[in-house]
Structure 1
Amino acid sequence: MAFATTFTAPAAHAATTASPSASTSQSSAGTSGSCSDADVAICVQSATAVLTSTSGYSTSIRIFNSGDDSLKAGTLTVSMNAMYSFTSRVDMQDWANGDAHIPTQSVLGTVQVPEIKAGKNASVSIVVPADSTQLKSIFSWGPKPLLFSYSNGIEKDGASVNSFVTRSTDGLKTAGTPALSMTVVLPLTASSWSGSASAVKELQVGTGKQSSGSSSSSSSDSKQTKPTQSSTSSGTDATASSSSSSSSSSSSQAGSDSSDSDTEHYSSIVTLNEKAETTQRRQLELLKKYPILQSIADPLYLQTFPIPPQVTGIMQPADFDITAFAAKGSSAYANAGISDSMWDNSLAQKALQTATGDSNSKLDSYAWQGKGNWTQRALDTARKQGYSAAISLTDFASDDDSASAHTGKYTVKTASGDMSVLVAQKQLSLLAQNAATTKSADAETTSAGRIARLMAQSALYQMEQPYAERVLLIAMKSSEDLAYADQVMSNLSQASWLKLTDLATLKKAESYKSGQTATQSIPTASGLSSSELMALNSSLSALAASKDDISRFSTSILSSKEQSESSPTTSGTSDAQALARGDAAQTGQQSDDASGWISQLSLAQSTIAIHSLDGTGRNSSLPSTAAQLAGALLSGVRITPSESVTVVTETASLPVTVSNDHPYAVHVIVSSKTDSAEIVTSREAQIEIPAHSEVQVTLPIRVAAAGKANASLVLLDRKGQAFGTTHTTRITSTLRLSDMSGLAILVVAGIFGLLGLWRQFNRKKDPDE
């Protein structure tokens, strides 16, 4: 068996007996990916991770000069210790960190490195043929120490990196031992979700249409029939499903609008980004290429595939973060719009059936770990929700770090029954996730270095207990670099000391710990950092505010049926305006009961909420979509700005036009206040606005003196709370002697005139007159 690991197209290869190739890059060190902050850094771009009898060894190295001065020409040397095999994980980690001193006297090859100017880098490569003396001198299989060193005779310019190469059993005359069983699992979830502005608008104006299980991506309207998902259910899952039926009965208020709905999610309110189609295609290719790769899928993400892939199992809907939920408590999530039934196992199975188009589809379910730890409370919560198995990625059984590699299965007791916790092996999973084991492991700053360490570490674990029956779990991450995942699977599947198995094998394996001993391995702290808790609290508060706004609109702004029928303001208005707009047919088909529309709004808010609080932490922008949805409701009822009003009498009227963009009538209060004591308006006026209409109400104006005033107009709900934008209208009074004032003056003048005439005719005259 012969294979080699290559991550980048190497530079022109040359045998060590010839002149190895070297080239100087024209890009600056800062922009071309230096793997170290040191002035002189050695970055392993590609390397053979596993040696066989026919593979030979090849590597491509890039040397960076991040200093201020040019780097004189020097020599890169690759050397190893052919006689040494690591037998301790401590020694292996010390070597990776550069803390161990192991001689590497066997030189695989050297290459001359030209002068490197400041801020530049040089790429070199070495190829060692399989029949070379150095490679033939390896008589034992296992991980070997490998050293990359650079020197140009100046001490400060020297650099070295410790790495690994693993000799397989191929072609060696050594006794064979059973292969180590290993299960590799890939979470099939979306890398990110975003809110749909168009869906928000459709919901606001009442044209949103929710069909059960509609896809949330651009492929959602595909008419192609989905293939049937094979059923691999187990008896434990059936029990778990029935145990969660009680929680399913307490469904959220949003799920009652359709008896045919098989989910409690308004899928069109969230969409995938533009790269989703490419990502899905590459995920499908990876699963097809490696059928042994186990996949645990978010059933809501599966619904976005035009043709969903065959998967091993499903996780909780939307990759909901159960660990964070357990740390915060259900009340905070209920206030944010998330009910327990939205993410239980029974709903996950229904979402799977929607994705596959087969009402009989059923798969094993696994509670996938979120950002926090699987505490006892978190496991109790997951088991109560119907999940009989959980995948643990980090910080479970940390007391076993110094123990030999063992089967990654614990059986713990919960209030709802036993729970199988499948624990990922820490070092192997980190490396499979394209992460270094420690910050000090310089070779592991590149993908090639991490693959080399992964293969060496797996060989070490097999050598620790070569005859013990064990099944190790390697867990990849949801945002996995699929090209790197391909390299991981290629190397693991070809390693002679490994046997890749499925999750069913791991679940059936004997537990490493169970009962009280397993309980002692459960983390006691949530594991959420202060920044993660702060972000979680911020999202929960924002989502709770949007949920409260929808509830407020429903109870205090939306008109009740009785109010709509008794309101004199809207008599005959709705039909006339519908005819004028040309949507009388749509309005005529509109249900008289707004509860279904409100349920859709609540369902959409809850869907946004559950996607916001997933285990990846990459959807923190989604609560703004929920705020947008709630804001659209409140801003959809608004005052139309009016022109200034000029008053020439003691009384007048202020016209106020209120618009309603929603598909149902609203009943609000128009409030008006002026900043003048001489010019005042009526304080409040109730108004009913039909669906998709506008209504004008007049507020009386009373003037005591000439002058100017500003009238502030704002809408109030029926509880007297303001909402929307405040508008200001200018009122100008030019009061004249007219009307009652002028009439009073004329009457007084007439009285005085009559008195004058009466006195003239009734006074005594002088004798001389």
Structure 2
Amino acid sequence: MMDWQHTRRYHATSSARMSHVAWALIACITAVLMVVATTVASTPAHAATTDNAKTVSSQSTNAADADTSCSNAEVAICIESATAVLTSTSGYATSVTIFNSGSTALKAGMLTVEMNAMYSFASRVDMQDWANGDAHIPTPSVLGTVQVPQIPAGHSANVSITVPADNSQLASIFSWGPKPLLFDFSNGVDKDHASVNSFVTRSTDGLKTANTPPLSVTVVLPLTASSWSGNADAVKKLEVGAGDQPSASSSGSASASKQSEPRQSDSGTDDANSSSSSGASSPLSTASSSPSASSSSSASSSDSDKEASHADAEHYPSIVSLSEKASSAQRKQLELLKKYPMVQSIADPLYLQNFPIPPQTSGIMQPADFDITAYAAKGSSAYAAAGISDSMWNESLAQQALQTATGNPKSTLEAYAWQGQGNWTQSALDIAKKQGYSTAISLTDFASSDDSASAHTSKYDVKTASGDISVLVAQRQLSLLAQNTATTKSADAETTSAGRLSRLMAQSAFYQMEQPYAERVLLIAMKTTEDLTYADQVMSNLSKASWLTISDLATLQKATAYKSGQAATHSIPTGTGLSNGELTALNSSLNALTASKNDISRFAISILSSKEQSESSPTSSGTSDAQALARGDAAQTGQHSDDASGWISQLSLSQSTVAIHSLDGTGRNTALPGTAAQLAQALLSGVHITPSDSVTVVTETASLPVTVSNDHPYAVHVIVSSKTDSAEIVTAREAQVEIPANAEVQVTLPIRVAAAGQANASLVLLDRTGQAFGVTHSTRITSSLRLSDMSGLAILVVAGIFGLLGLWRQFNRKKDPDE
């Protein structure tokens, strides 16, 4: 009965609650309908007088919750979205945000969108002046108006205008091409007035105009990572020599090909079982038979050796992997390339090894997007000291890395030298050609003196010391806009993506109209850090533009060069193009990488036991390291052998892998050298002194025990150094000690005491050249010298008596007459 009453009360309570919720929902819906009705009723009649233009006004929102204002002005107009290209059926639609950054409320006003349907731009200067707000072009055609509500200080309001395709103003456009567009806000107060100049482009669709040949453009996208990250777990495994342990899998069937199961793991993770997906970005991926084999005949390794090496390397994590942000960008890159196959992708072959299934690409660039322009500015010696040899980024290595990524030993693609942070100077082009690259791609500042000329084919043939090299120069304005960058700081409409997209389409149309019958191929280059959502919008508009045809890189390369010979040489920049900040960051990275390379070399030569060392240099970064980087099989470098050369080579290649990814063309991996520093520090700190307790000495001599530990898989030979801060209590200065692999050894240092007291002994490890490393430990030594028995006391008493008698005799004895 009690249970039944309890259940009944529960259902009654639940019913009451449901009833309250229902009434609350009805009240909310009623309130929303009333607000909508009030808003519609308050819309002025003239808002819809422009041929059925639809207008929508939203309530103001707090600026903290909205996008940041696109202008520093108190009243700013930001174009959130807009129709970039008009066709006979498209109509026009835009969404605009009005920001009030002032300290007082902004009175309600009117936003008007106006256009000049009859105007045609005469020059690119006219277009830029209009974009900058410096040109006075009348805009009599009103596309639409919308009421803007009062906006409190620090708030914003979003409004929208939609103009149907049959609007009379749109129908009045009889010529195709870019048209000036004006966004104007006014509320009757002069200081609140704001306007923004933009563009809209009418396509040839539906117009009775003569058709001219479309302008050919090539759109290129670098397929590279925007950022890499180091793996602390990989550093630890390298330190303890995880590669010397036998693999859990003894067969190579799991990785018999590049498309096998390990390649299907999620790229960009640090999973120890995803070594194949990390590819050449990791020096811990796959293997060959031995370090010497990799240096002599890497390309001729048998399939069975490769399969076994894959199995041996399965437990390795990657020393360098994709960051979470880069992994997300990787997926978007694949989606973009699949959606727009006309995009010409130029891939970093090491980055390709991070794809479960590498996408089809149009070409490859230098491994790791290595910054050749910065290399030319600093010189080869600085990079060699940092762990990067020339053989690690030449064209041959790029092709080898591509073959590893695809799993096809016959894969080849055209190799392009991609521009880094600096300019393509004559020196940089000489180096690129010498490294095997026949074509370079310039993103900025090449042939800047030609910017004022008509749009021309984006190709220059330049002479170098090693032969001619073609430089494909990105068209400046189109590439800036395609990279989501404004053409100038004064172009207010281009502070938003929608404004930049409208300008991009208008500019491309103008270039076609500028020389409608000239055969030209323009290069539009995107960037590694491209906003791929914006890139999708760019490609969507370019592919639908009736005045453009999207070609491939082969078409551009076959085109006649705009300049060649001496004329092209005069177009080469003379300055490096590196800013002070970029040079500072570059020097900092080089210094950090050089220090880590030196520490690894020091450990191999002066700390590792001499009996473990190989006759060959264990820290070279020559051809064998470069081939291992390209194949991604550096893990085998650390397989167990009779000496430690394989392990040291693995450490050296890990440092070089970090180095080449740190010094890429993005300049975004300045924190990555810290991973190499951690690796070097782990080596040095793996040999350490175990702190000992204080020592009390009661005799003139004693011993100070010191325990030295070795966490590494090979024996080390070091020197224990001791110094005290007292002259009465001293220890032996040095003691040689050899510590076996993964062991600890205790060594004793003699102590000599001259007087009672205290002293601090500073203990530190030295390598065999006498340079200290590791942490200095301090041990307190206390001396308590005292008499041990009564016999000693008796001796002192007798000595005192004899001393007193001697003095008494000296003063009381009779002297000789002649004395």
Q: Which band: TM-score by shorter chain?
A: 0.7 to 0.9
Partner residue in 2 for 1:90:
125
Instruction: Quote the offset at 1:747 in angstroms.
Output: 12
Distance 1:671 1:168, change over 3 A: same
1:135 aligns with 2:135: no
RMSD over aligned Cα atoms: 2.9
Selected match of 1:217 from 268, 272, 280: 268
Residue in 1 that maps onto 2:808: none
Q: Assess, with a 3 A threshold, how the Cα gap between structure 1 residues 426 and 547 changes in structure 2: closer, same or farther.
A: same
2:645 alignment counterpart: 595
Q: What's 1:168 paired with?
A: 203
Match of 2:621 in 1: none
Residues 376/254 of structure 1: CA separation in 2 closer, same or farther (3 Å cut): farther
Deviations 1:728-762 (A, max 9, x none): 001111112239x9679769979x99xxxxxxxxx
Q: State whether residues 176 and 204 of structure 2, in contact with CA within 8 Å, keep that contact through their aligned partners in structure 1.
A: yes
Written as runs of structure 1 = structure 2, the 5 A alignment for 1:341-356 is 341-356=391-406
Alignment map for 1:728-739 (pairs within 5 Å): 728-738=778-788
Counterpart Cα distance in 2 of 1:314 and 1:222:
27
Match of 2:715 among 665, 670, 679: 665
Once the 2 structures are TM-superposed, how far is the Cα of residue 27 of structure 1 from its aligned partner?
2.0
1:124 pairs with 2:175: no
Q: Structure 1 residue aligned with 2:104, among 53, 66, 69?
A: 69
What is the 5 A alignment of 1:549-560?
A: 549-560=599-610
User: Does the 8 Å CA contact 2:270/2:318 hold for their aligned counterparts?
Assistant: no
Contact 1:384 1:416 in 2 (8 A): yes
Which one of 481, 485, 492 corresponds to residue 542 of structure 2?
Answer: 492
Instruction: Trace 1:695-734 onto structure 2 (pairs within 5 A).
Output: 695-734=745-784
Q: Please point out which of 366, 372, 397 is paired with 2:416.
A: 366
| Contact 2:227–2:669 (Cα < 8 Å) also in 1 | yes
- Are the structure 2 counterparts of residues 747 and 56 from structure 1 closer, same or farther at C-alpha, using a change threshold of 3 Å? closer
**How far apart are 1:256 and its partner, in Å?**
4.4
1:366 alignment partner, SS class: strand
1:189 aligns with 2:239: no
My pick for the range that moved more, 322-331 or 671-680, is: 671-680
Name the amino acid aligned to 1:45.
Answer: E
> Shift in Å at residue 473 of structure 1?
0.2
Letter in 2 for 1:304: N
Aligned to 2:283: none
Structure 2 residue 584 is matched with structure 1 residue 534: yes
Distance 1:219 1:604 in 2: 15
- CA 1:398–1:653 in structure 2 vs 1: closer, same or farther (change >3 Å)? same
Deviation at residue 276 of structure 1 after TM alignment: 3.5
Confirm whether residue 687 of structure 1 aligns to residue 722 of structure 2. no
Distance 1:259 1:747 in 2: 83
The alpha-carbon deviation at position 405 of structure 1 amounts to 0.3
Distance 1:198 1:255 in 2: 26
TM-score by length of 1: 0.86
- In structure 2, the gaps of 5 or more residues are 1-38, 248-254, 278-290, 307-312, 615-638, 803-819
1:561 is aligned to 611
Aligned to 2:689: 639
Corresponding position: 1:207 with 2:242: yes
Q: Deviations over 1:38-89 (max 9, x none)?
A: 0000000110000010100111111000000000010000000000011300
Tell me which residue corresponds to 1:760: none
Q: Match for 2:213: what amino acid? A: P
Compare the two structures and name the one with the higher helix fraction: 2
Match of 2:573 among 505, 523, 528: 523
Could you tell me which amino acid in structure 1 is paired with residue 80 of structure 2? Q
Are 1:153 and 2:188 counterparts? yes
Bigger Cα displacement from structure 2, 728-737 vs 333-342: 728-737
Partners of 2:122 and 2:429 in 1: CA distance:
36
Partner residue of 2:280?
none
Structure 2 CA distance, aligned partners of 1:87 and 1:225?
57
**Residues in 2 aligned to 1:745 and 1:346: alpha-carbon distance in whole angstroms:** 91
Give the fraction of aligned pairs with identical amino acids, expressed as a percent. Answer: 76
Tell me the alpha carbon deviations over residues 598-650 of structure 1, each in whole angstroms, 9 at most, x when there is no partner.
11111111111111110000000011111111111111111000001111111
Q: Secondary structure at 1:186's aligned position in 2?
A: strand
Task: Name the CA shift for 1:92/1:201 in 2 (closer, same or farther; >3 Å).
Answer: same
* Aligned residue in 2 for 1:621: 671
Cα distance in structure 2, aligned partners of 1:167 and 1:560:
78
1:7 equivalent in structure 2: none
Once residues 153 and 511 of structure 1 are traced to their aligned partners in structure 2, the CA distance between those partners, rounded to angstroms, is: 56
**Secondary structure at 1:20 match in 2:** strand
**In structure 1, C-alpha distance between the alignment counterparts of 2:750 and 2:613, rounded to whole Å:** 24
The superposition leaves residues 283-330 of structure 1 with CA deviations (integer Å, 9 ceiling, x where unpaired) of 111101000000001111111111111111100001000000001110
AA partner of residue 722 (structure 1): A
Aligned-pair CA distance for 1:261:
10
* Map of 1:408 onto structure 2: 458
- C-alpha distance in 1, partners of 2:723/2:457? 74
Alignment of 1:94-493 (within 5 A): 94-208=129-243, 217-218=268-269, 256=295, 259=298, 268-493=318-543
1:254/1:599 contact within 8 Å kept: no
* Aligned-partner Cα distance in 1 for 2:331–2:640: 41
TM-score normalised according to structure 2 size: 0.81
Give 2:21's aligned residue.
none
Query: Contact 2:54–2:162 at 8 Å: present in 1 too?
Result: no
CA contact (8 A) 1:325 1:333 kept: yes
Contact 2:272 2:318 in 1 (8 A): no
Q: Distance in 2 between matches of 1:145 and 1:190?
A: 38
Aligned residues of 1:220 and 1:306 also touching (Cα < 8 A): no
CA distance in 1, matches of 2:786, 2:136: 105
Aligned length: 691
Cα drift, residue 417 of structure 1? 1.1
- Following superposition, the deviation at residue 28 of structure 1 comes to 1.7
CA distance in 2, matches of 1:496, 1:19: 28
Quote the Cα distance in structure 1 between the aligned partners of 2:326 and 2:797: 87
Q: Following the alignment from structure 1 to structure 2, what is the Cα–Cα distance between the partners of residues 187 and 611?
A: 16
Tell me, in whole angstroms, the C-alpha distance in 2 between the residues paired with 1:489 and 1:136. 27
Tell me: CA distance 1:556–1:515, structure 2 relative to 1, closer, same or farther (3 Å): same
Contact between 1:255 and 1:603, CA under 8 Å: does it hold in 2?
no
Cα deviations by residue, 1:670-718 (Å, 9 ceiling, x for unpaired): 0111111111111110000111111000011111221111111111111
CA deviation vs aligned residue, 1:500-553 (integer Å, no higher than 9, x gap): 000011011111111111111111111111111111111111111111111111
Distance 1:254 1:540 in 2: 30
Counterpart AA for 1:218: T
Question: Residues 207 and 68 (structure 1 numbering): CA distance in 2 closer, same or farther, change over 3 Å?
Answer: same
Deviation at 1:255, TM superposition (A): 7.0
Structure 1 residue 222: deviation in Å?
Answer: 7.3
Contact 2:419-2:443 within 8 A present in 1 as well: yes
Counterpart contact for 2:722–2:733, Cα < 8 Å: yes
Where 1:275 maps in the other structure, the secondary structure is helix
- Distance change (3 Å), C-alpha of 1:108 and 1:544: same
Match of 1:43 among 78, 81, 93: 78
Structure 1 residues 677, 82: closer, same or farther in 2, change over 3 A? same
Q: 1 CA distance for matches of 2:785 and 2:56? A: 98
Structure 1 position 656 matched with structure 2 position 691: no
Are the counterparts in 2 of residues 298 and 318 from structure 1 also a CA contact under 8 Å? Answer: yes
Q: Secondary structure at the match of 1:268?
A: coil
- In 2, the alpha carbon distance for the partners of 1:35 and 1:348 equals 42
